[in-house]
Structure 1
Amino acid sequence: MSRTVIVSHSHPNLRYGGGEVAAYRQFEHLLAQDEDVIFVGSTIGPEDSAKFFGPSQQVLSFGPRDFCLRGRGMDSFTMEHAEVRDEDWIFEFLLALQGDVYHFHHFWNIGAGTIRRLRAALPKAKFICTLHELTAICANHGQMVKRSGELCYASSEVACAACVARPPIDFVLRKTRMLEMLGLFNHLLSPSEFLRERFEDWGVPKGRIAVIENGLDHHASFRPETEAELLAKSGRFAFFGQATPTKGLDVLIRAAALIEARDEAPELPLSIEIHGVDKDSFTRMWPDLEIPDCIHFRGRYRPQDCVDIMRGYGWIIIPSVWWENSPVVIQEARAAGTPMIASDIGGMAEKTAGWGLQFRVGDPAALASAIMSVHGQPDALLVHKSRITPPLGLEEFAAEWMEACELRKSVKARKLVGA
């Protein structure tokens, strides 16, 4: 291996999400090891592109090896660009990088057609894809949540047609095309067993997908906490995420309201702090929800500060109402040594088993009960903290990645032409 090109649907400098963060951390680690590596992200669509690009600008450069493409949006059903010219220049840009390894962390904004053309143009290159979510299976934003809000447990052409309002034959063709595209990759990776099983049940041959947890650069060193510190933390809970319907922030607010409506106030004050969302953003999305007094909005935070911020809480709450695969917030909580209260489905259930609490997904009463079962309980907090194991480090991730993808330790690289 000489040159690795890491491709993501988004760029974490512009939008912070789990898939793009995992991709960028991989890039930064390989770069720090003097590997010949290039990162290519994208803006999400026309709205974001207009914020960051000039009228005829196609590429932003954050460094000689760090690029962001202008995303113009694409058809989420076919995973293709509406205009051939949009696909043409993305294909030509990726081809010009002359990678020996192309590691894709998503198809969105890149396009299935781009991948097919690049594969044909570079038959000797190694193509790798990390499956961060269920887009290939589900045409409803890859979330396997029906338009009614009900969780979907398996795709079928008839059920999908009823959900997305297209003829069943369209879903037969879509599945064929998606499986064909996945077949172009030399290696498929998944950060969770849950996601691997979903893809195998859908049609990817068993044994094709290797499971490697996303890497996280962390330095876990904890000093013993006093009883007073543990007691104080046992009353402090936090949410880290975005104000999107599937993140379940409304479930948390409803749970907090149920707690406040109880006849007896708890002896230790309850505090639930919301990071990543401000009050105005929440109100725009859920205008009819009254915000309880125990809820405090803290707004945006720097990703690199997340683990340190988490260390100040007793519990981190992840109330998502869709099949999260391997949320970065779970790895960050493990690095912080802070246990979690999580929805009982998907990668959340898998990744918090043994050291976190789980509650019935989408159920505010169940979440309220989970919160109150550990509120003001320093002994319970200490027990759960003792069960936490550190997340996979970036060095360990890189070693597993090279082994799973049959990559040799690369020769230190040639300079990027034109850098």
Structure 2
Amino acid sequence: MSRTVIVSHSHPNLRYGGGEVAAYRQFQHLLSLGEDVFFIGSTIGPEDSARYFGPSQQVISFGPRDFCLRGRGMDAFTMEHAEIRDEDWIFEFLLALQGDVYHFHHFWNIGAGTIRRLRAALPQAKFICTLHELTAICANHGQMVKRSGELCHAASEVACAACIARPPIDFVLRQTRMRELLDLFDHLLSPSEFLRRRFEDWGLPPGRIAVIENGLAYPTGFRPETEAELLTKSGRFAFFGQATPTKGLDVLIRAASLIEARKEAFDMPLSLEIHGVDKEGFARIWPDLEVPDCVHFRGSYRPQDCVEIMRGYGWIIIPSIWWENSPVVIQEARAAGTPMIASDIGGMAEKTEGWGVQFRAGDPVALADAILSVHGRPDMLLAYKSRVLPPLGLEGYVEAWLEVSAKNPGLSRSRPEVKARSG
């Protein structure tokens, strides 16, 4: 039996984000099938390391095959560790597992140098990478959003230098290094066509990236809803996510304020509930933004409860202002059979086409109009619910993953000479 090592930039037991959740669900499903599989996560940086680790502790064990490494932070531009000793022990830990397949779900906290050295040490192993965002293309957290907040449509050394204030030659060199890093992998995966196209526009050859949507385990079966239930749900809207500037929660609150000012114009009450964020957390980021009465903060929730909670709403809103590749909240909404109101960019536009209402990203007026267009409309809610298709299950994901990972890399990949970093 071959051994698979799944490597993520974070661990969902410490932080709940789409990439690490997808990686961990893959691990759990393979483990349930009796496969020889390990999961390796990391802390995000010095802050989380200080919170969860003792002074000299390097690893947390959540089980005999489930580990979280101590991340000390790294250079986001080069994707390298500042000190070679930090790279050394991560490399040695991964090497000691002697995997036949290494599936990386990010470079962050693991390091480009770690991957180069592991590739050199294990030339017969198969290396796979899922591209969850645009880090290899964009040095601004992989979001392709300019410092001004304007969306970026293509990377170039001049435009990137104006955004991040480094010499253009730095971006030429970074692009070369990132392409060489990606060429070390036997297979590249993307959860969306949008992300695949972005990388091809950047210079990766067509066919180099296989598209496989992230798998999701979810409760099945739906109870038929009465007309009264549909009417009630048509006035209930919800947000699931984090209070980060790019998630667009401020756009949603501004839209809710516009709706509140117009509430006399409609008879049915409208409720907007925020899951994953409390009022204090919101106020820390947007202290001057007044929250209208129709908004209610529900705080944290257990990820395994998300789908069932979503079933209690008529519409889930995803107002992110960056490109978002394949947000897990979209898959969860599909599993719940609950339609979405989504920003019209990136993976959000792709993943909600046909069963979601889309609005111009970053525009509170457009979002308010989208919400009011379906508010109190049980007929419209039923029509959109009927178009929701279930997401790819973990069984389907692993089946597709095994099919891709078994293939010969072919001529689309030409591995450069691998040299370990010295220091």
TM-score (normalised: structure 1): 0.97
Q: What's the offset of the Cα at 1:407?
A: 6.4
Q: What's the offset of the Cα at 1:147?
A: 0.1
CA–CA distance in 1 between the matches of 2:85 and 2:392?
41
CA–CA distance in 2 between the matches of 1:310 and 1:127?
36
Which residue in 1 is equivalent to 2:419? none
| 3-state DSSP of counterpart to 1:357 | strand
Which residue in 2 is equivalent to 1:193? 193
Alignment-mate amino acid for residue 200 of structure 1: E
Q: Classify 1:261/1:246 alpha carbon distance in 2 versus 1 (closer, same or farther; 3 Å).
A: same
What whole-Å deviation, never above 9, does each CA across 1:224-254 have from its counterpart, x for those lacking one?
Answer: 1000000000000000000000000000000
Q: How does 1:94-105 map to 2 (within 5 A)?
A: 94-105=94-105
CA–CA distance in 1 between the matches of 2:219 and 2:264?
41
Q: How does 1:164-243 map to 2 (within 5 A)?
A: 164-243=164-243
Matched pairs, number: 408
Q: How does 1:274-313 map to 2 (within 5 A)?
A: 274-313=274-313
| 3-state DSSP of counterpart to 1:274 | strand
CA–CA distance in 2 between the matches of 1:141 and 1:55?
29
Q: What's the offset of the Cα at 1:220?
A: 2.2
* Residues 360 and 366, structure 1, Cα contact 8 Å, conserved in 2: yes
Which residue in 2 is equivalent to 1:414? none
CA–CA distance in 2 between the matches of 1:13 and 1:147?
31
* Residues 3 and 36, structure 1, Cα contact 8 Å, conserved in 2: yes
Which residue in 2 is equivalent to 1:109? 109
Alignment-mate amino acid for residue 99 of structure 1: G
Which residue in 2 is equivalent to 1:320? 320
Which residue in 2 is equivalent to 1:161? 161
CA–CA distance in 1 between the matches of 2:263 and 2:302?
39
What whole-Å deviation, never above 9, does each CA across 1:334-393 have from its counterpart, x for those lacking one?
Answer: 000000000000000000000000000000000000000000000000000000000000
What whole-Å deviation, never above 9, does each CA across 1:302-354 have from its counterpart, x for those lacking one?
Answer: 00000000000000000000010000000000000000000000000000000
What whole-Å deviation, never above 9, does each CA across 1:205-238 have from its counterpart, x for those lacking one?
Answer: 1111000000001232011100000000000000
Q: What's the offset of the Cα at 1:267?
A: 1.1
CA–CA distance in 1 between the matches of 2:139 and 2:396?
34
What whole-Å deviation, never above 9, does each CA across 1:155-205 have from its counterpart, x for those lacking one?
Answer: 000000000000000000000000000000000000000000000000111
Alignment-mate amino acid for residue 101 of structure 1: V
| 3-state DSSP of counterpart to 1:264 | helix
What whole-Å deviation, never above 9, does each CA across 1:42-85 have from its counterpart, x for those lacking one?
Answer: 00000000010000000000000000000000000000000000
CA–CA distance in 1 between the matches of 2:406 and 2:208?
13
Which residue in 2 is equivalent to 1:60? 60
CA–CA distance in 1 between the matches of 2:265 and 2:63?
54
* Residues 247 and 319, structure 1, Cα contact 8 Å, conserved in 2: yes
Q: What's the offset of the Cα at 1:263?
A: 6.4
| 3-state DSSP of counterpart to 1:24 | helix
Q: How does 1:22-171 map to 2 (within 5 A)?
A: 22-171=22-171
CA–CA distance in 1 between the matches of 2:264 and 2:17?
39
CA–CA distance in 2 between the matches of 1:169 and 1:64?
46
What whole-Å deviation, never above 9, does each CA across 1:265-320 have from its counterpart, x for those lacking one?
Answer: 42111000000000000001001100000000000000000000000000000000
**Which consecutive unaligned segments of at least 5 residues does structure 1 have?**
409-419
- Identical counterparts, % of pairs: 84
Q: How does 1:347-362 map to 2 (within 5 A)?
A: 347-362=347-362
CA–CA distance in 1 between the matches of 2:28 and 2:407?
18
Which residue in 1 is equivalent to 2:411? none
Which residue in 2 is equivalent to 1:340? 340
CA–CA distance in 1 between the matches of 2:276 and 2:48?
18
Alignment-mate amino acid for residue 388 of structure 2: I
Which residue in 1 is equivalent to 2:3? 3
Which residue in 1 is equivalent to 2:16? 16
CA–CA distance in 1 between the matches of 2:303 and 2:259?
30
* Residues 255 and 368, structure 1, Cα contact 8 Å, conserved in 2: yes
Q: What's the offset of the Cα at 1:405?
A: 1.6
* Residues 220 and 390, structure 1, Cα contact 8 Å, conserved in 2: no
TM-score (normalised: structure 2): 0.96
CA–CA distance in 2 between the matches of 1:245 and 1:350?
22
CA–CA distance in 1 between the matches of 2:395 and 2:335?
15
